[in-house]
Amino acid sequence: MHASRLIAGSLLALGATGCLASKGDIRLLQDEIRAARASAAQADSARRRTSDSLTAALQNLAAVQGTNSRDTRQTQQKTVDDLRALTARVNTNDIAVREQLKAIADDIDQLREITRQNQRSSAIARAQMEQANAGRTSTPTVPDTTTGAPNPAGAPPGPATLIIQAKSLIIGGSCSTARRTFQDVVTNFPDSPDAPEAQYLIAESFVSCGEGGNPAKADSVYRLVIEKYPKSDFAPISLYKRGEALRAANKMAEARQLYEKIVCEYGPKSTVYPQALNRLGGTRPATCR
């Protein structure tokens, strides 16, 4: 722009002097024109370089953005694939764990059943041993009317024998006599391993005997089992029976407390642990230590 003004000024000066311009003036004008053209050419070249640089920068930016976009898509896809693979592994592990837990639960159920069978067999064996021991102290024998086994005349039956006899009386409908027999075990053999079962069976007789049973008396005897024999498995069983009675009466909060006591204090060793845990929704309470 400055060069254009110089040329215009020179031309005006020449116009003012008419044809009096010398060769020197003409050369000076020509030099200024060449200088102006050179300056314009440099400016055009600088503009082109600037434009080319800007275009290149925009192209690089577009390329970088395209690369970043592809990288982002690839990263996102990889993340999705990894999450799917992880979900599949977790699901597979969950299935395996559930199958293992089911197998363990089945084993525990089988073990409990074996334990119950052993307990029944043990009770029968104790009864037979009691009768054998009594036979060594007294020779005259009379047949036992309830078990069919020989019973030494005059020899008092032991606790295991009494329980077997009382169970037979329950089946025969002689509930009062059966309760008295169970009570004989509790009274006369308080330290016997059969005493907790005898006390528990008294409570059960109030449930199973008679029209509708006697729930109030049954509950009071279940309480006795829990208080007198807390380390026996008949204690959590009695807790569960009390809980079921409360549940049937729609007293859910009180029943839940008894189920929690079974799960928290007696644990899986109790035969009623699975049932109590099921009543709690299958989850141990957070209050369990």
Mean pLDDT of the chain: 77
Residue-level pLDDT at 80: 83
Per-residue pLDDT band for 111 (boundaries 50, 70, 90) equals: very low
Residue 264 has what DSSP assignment? I
Percent of the chain with pLDDT over 70: 70
pLDDT tens profile 136-169: 555 444 445 444 444 545 567 889 999 999 999 9
What confidence category does residue 117 fall into, taking pLDDT thresholds of 50, 70 and 90?
very low
157-279 folds as 1.25.40
pLDDT band for position 28 (cuts 50, 70, 90): confident
Report how far residue 113's alpha carbon sits from residue 32's, in angstroms, rounded to the nearest whole number: 119
According to the model, what pLDDT value does residue 126 have? 60
Q: Please classify residue 21 by burial: count the beta carbons closer than 10 Å to its beta carbon, then call 0-12 exposed, 13-18 middle and 19+ buried.
A: middle
Q: What is the pLDDT of residues 194-210, one digit of tens each?
A: 999 999 999 999 988 86
Please state, for a pLDDT cut of 90, what percent of the chain lies above it. 37
Spatial neighbors of 213 by CB under 8 A, at least 6 apart, are 206, 207
> Can you give the pLDDT at residue 45?
81
pLDDT of residue 102 exceeding 60, the answer is no
User: What CA–CA distance (Å, rounded) separates 28 from 21?
Assistant: 11
The strand ranges marked E within the chain are: 141-143, 150-152
Q: Is the pTM of this model over 0.85?
A: no
Residue 261 CA to residue 276 CA, distance in Å, equals 9
Q: Would you state the pLDDT for residue 78?
A: 83
What is the per-residue pLDDT across 208-251, written as a single tens digit (0 to 9) for each? 886 667 889 999 999 999 999 999 999 999 999 999 999 999 99
Q: Residue 185 pLDDT more than 80?
A: yes
Instruction: Considering only residues 100 and 132, tell me which one the structure prediction assigns the higher pLDDT.
Output: 132
pLDDT top residue among 224 and 120: 224
Q: Which tops the pLDDT comparison, 167 or 135?
A: 167
Tell me: the pLDDT tens digits for 31-77?
777 777 777 778 778 888 888 888 888 888 888 887 777 778 888 88
Distance in angstroms (rounded) separating the CA atoms of residues 251 and 258: 11
| Residue 277 clears pLDDT 70, i.e. is over it | yes
Q: Are 14 and 32 in contact (CB under 8 A)?
A: no
A 10 A CB-CB count for 111 gives: 10
